[in-house]
Structure 1
Amino acid sequence: MDMQRRDLLACCVLVLSLLACGCTGPGGDEAQPTPTPTPAPPIQAGSGVPQPVPTPPGEWDGKKPYDVKFVDPAMYHITPTVTATTTMVKQPNDLQVDKKAMKEYAKISSNDMGKVMTTEIYHIPFPYWELDYTADAKIKELARFAVEVRDAEDPNRLVAEIDLKRADFMASGTSQENTANSGTILLREGFRDYYFVIQKDQISSFSLVIKVPEKYLV
């Protein structure tokens, strides 16, 4: 019996020795090198929808007014179902406005580009500003001219508006030659970016002139 136990023990030692030699020999499993991670492809810049850039950039020398251009209304997602809210950010009431010392800062051409027109974004670097408008009707009985001043950072905020209808043009006089209607609005806010939404019907020409206080010019 003791002989059988010794033989069995010797067999176990031999098997364990063979297994150990197989694991560490040339044909055994070897430690695999750590794979080098593949870097993720870089995100392409400018892949989003380009946003309008405020114009004019930099400081204004006060000599020549800027010419504000028109852009595609789709850039601002203009739809007739959007209802804007009028929440004007006014400066303090004691702000002294010298309307006699206003200088022409920018103007908008009356290019005929359809019934709905939108301008590029422009910047007002002053605490308040003035908008002069003139609209000339083709047919006074059918004419309409509307301008919305919108905040570029919050397009749903209606800063100010002009809305001339048939009665406004008819009130300019009974003469068929007198077809123009003009006026001025003062905006007691600034240091922001804005753009115009213009709607017109039976208007032959119009002009919009932005004026700023001359006393703030350096």
Structure 2
Amino acid sequence: MEKQDLLYVVLAVGIVVIMALVVKPMVTGEPVNLFGTPEPEPTTAPTPVWTPAATVVPTTRAPTPTPTWNGVAKELGFVDPSTYQIDLTRETPGITAPPSGSMPNVTWVTYTTITGQWSGTTGIFHIPTPYWRLDYTRIVPMNEEFPRFNLQVMDADDPNRFVKVITLNRPDFIGYNTTNSTAYRQSQWNTKFYEGNRNYYFVINTLGITSYDLQVQVPESYV
């Protein structure tokens, strides 16, 4: 066989190989593998395993016990005004609206007393009834020239709420006498609060006052 014939044979074999490795896969859509390496086996995605969610058991908080009262009046002391961390210089009057209808006749009993002479901030006290009264008839001025008494009733559960502001100035003390100091005040110097079952404290400012004796009163029917 001549050299030229041998070259034709080699060329023909090469064409056949190329047709088998390239052209046929392209026509059939199979991947082209020129080097004859084995194709990797197809992988299957792992089947996800479902894990049930943990069951949450709700917890219950024990209710806060309601303070009880044994019917004996207790004296309320004073604390540092910074305890409540609010601006005590504001005198914003609060609103204690009366309930619908008229209040029945009530016999009042003293629940807490506050006695002193100077300005101060009381501790927190709890009112165990749906309404209460503050009696401030026992305020003694030094004279009738410059007496001033200011009391702010604060809601201890809401430090930004002024329940009521009570202010007594010189005209309120005209007519005071030492022999019958509370006679002309009985119908005037007490305030009813048509709310209760809450915590309160007082902010007191005095000028020219010898002494004061405040009485927080509650209805006898609730004792």
- What is the TM-score with the length of structure 1 in the denominator? 0.62
Please say if residues 127 and 190 of structure 1, whose CA atoms lie closer than 8 Å, have aligned partners that are also in contact: yes
The counterpart of 2:171, out of the listed 146, 167, 191, is: 167
Root-mean-square deviation (CA, aligned residues, Å) is: 2.4
d(CA) in 2 for partners of 1:177, 1:102? 25
CA deviation after TM superposition for structure 1 residue 158, in Å: 1.6
Q: Give the corresponding residue for 1:66.
A: 74
What SS does the aligned partner of 1:75 have?
helix
- Partner-residue secondary structure (3-state), 1:93: coil
The one-letter code matched in structure 1 to 2:77 is K
| Structure 2 equivalent of residue 119 of structure 1 | 122
Whole-angstrom distance in 2 between the partners of 1:179 and 1:212 = 24
Are residues 1:148 and 2:157 paired?
no
SS at match of 1:127: coil
2:94 to 74, 77, 86: 86
Structural mapping, 1:49-60, within 5 Å: 58-60=67-69
> Would the aligned equivalents of 2:150 and 2:206 in 1 still touch at CA under 8 Å?
yes
| Distance in 1, Cα, partners of 2:162 & 2:83 | 17
Q: Percent identity?
A: 37
Give the residue type in structure 1 aligned to 2:92. Answer: A
Which blocks of at least 5 consecutive residues in structure 1 are unaligned? 1-56
Query: 1:138 deviation in Å?
Result: 0.5
- The answer to which of 69-78 and 125-134 deviates more is 69-78
Q: Does 2:208 align with 1:199? A: no
Structure 1 residues 78, 167: CA separation in 2 closer, same or farther (over 3 Å shift)?
farther
How many residue pairs are counted as aligned between the two chains?
153
**Corresponding residue number in structure 2 for 1:138:** 142
Task: Measure the CA separation in 2 of the matches of 1:213 and 1:177.
Answer: 29
CA distance change for structure 1 residues 143 and 81 in 2, over 3 Å: closer, same or farther?
closer
Farther off after superposition, 206-215 or 179-188: 179-188
